[in-house]
Amino acid sequence: MGKKRILYVSQEISPYTKENKRSNFCMNLPQVVQENDNDIRIFMPKFGTINERRHQLHEVIRLSGMNLIIDDFDHQLIIKVASVQQSRMQVYFIDNEEYFPKRHYLNDPEGNFMQNNDERMMFFCKGVIETVKKLGWAPDVIHCNGWFSALVPMYIKKLYNKDPMFANTKIYYTVFDNPFKGDLNNSLSEKLLFEDLQDKDVEMIGNPTFDNLNKFAISYSDAVVQGSKKLSKNLLDFIKNNNIPVLVKTDDDNFEEQCLSFYDSTEKAKKTKKNNQLVEVV
């Protein structure tokens, strides 16, 4: 694989969120890709459970200050950054005092699923794209990880499809077995229509369940990474029949290296069909 610019948009990244297989993967993959002489950028939400002092976050003044319109209202975008010393990487954080208050993750301190998680997700996904534009950094690949990043593929393919910065960008989406414990606001699709979108663009998330949100992201992506073996049959069938390349997680310890090879193989491969379905990459 030739040197590429790869943007990682992740819901959770160790050590900033709880350590698990997903958060470790979202830290380890960019490190492996960078070590193979690629240029990377990493973004995640600045959830209120992240200890800014411990992780030495600081605001990037030159990138902060723009307003994003969510549900027809302006919200200030704040960008913070932290360094991962051992791997010489930086992680950018999308922040806003209203959407990411202290001590709040996806649930409030009492354990309730936050009622505005739909808008928080909209703000995060759009904030990443606008920040990358402000950086003047055109990615060859955008790799989204987790349902909180699920709107990025649609934004790129529908709202930013005429922007020359993303003209040649390929979208990868990792599906994890991390369903949210609560309900996203059913008006998510209506709120998205305040953008230059049509009903058909967002009809798949008229009922924004976990499966539907992942299907929505996959439908706008160029390739899928199945990061968990345990997914619903409904979601697995959709992945299988969606006619795009798929990398399925194995028990091997080198899954990050497999992803790196996947970027290369999907770039080179033509859409070879067999029995009316795209051949799966494993």
Task: Give the pLDDT confidence of 132-149 residue by residue, as tens digits.
Answer: 999 999 999 999 999 999
Q: How far apart are CA 35 and CA 1, in angstroms?
A: 13
Mean pLDDT of 3-30: 95
Q: Assign 282 a pLDDT band (cuts: 50, 70, 90).
A: very low
**For the domain that residue 173 is a member of, what is the CATH number?**
3.40.50.2000
Q: How many CA atoms lie within 13 A of 82 on its CB side?
A: 20
Whether the CB-CB separation of 262 and 222 falls below 8 Å is answered with no
| Residue 211 pLDDT greater than 50, yes or no | yes
Q: How far apart are CA 45 and CA 224, in angstroms?
A: 22
User: How many C-beta atoms surround the C-beta of residue 274 within 10 A?
Assistant: 8
What pLDDT is attached to residue 269? Answer: 60
List the domain range (segments joined by +) for residue 249.
Answer: 5-278
Q: How far apart are CA 162 and CA 141, in angstroms?
A: 17
Q: Assign 281 a pLDDT band (cuts: 50, 70, 90).
A: very low
Mean pLDDT of 40-69: 96
What pLDDT is attached to residue 270? Answer: 43
What pLDDT is attached to residue 249? Answer: 85
Angle at 155 between CA 25 and CA 64, to 5 degrees: 75
Whether the CB-CB separation of 149 and 122 falls below 8 Å is answered with no
The pTM score is 0.93
Q: How far apart are the first and last CA of the chain?
A: 18
With pLDDT > 70 as the criterion, what percentage of the chain qualifies? 94
What's the structural domain count of the chain? Answer: 1
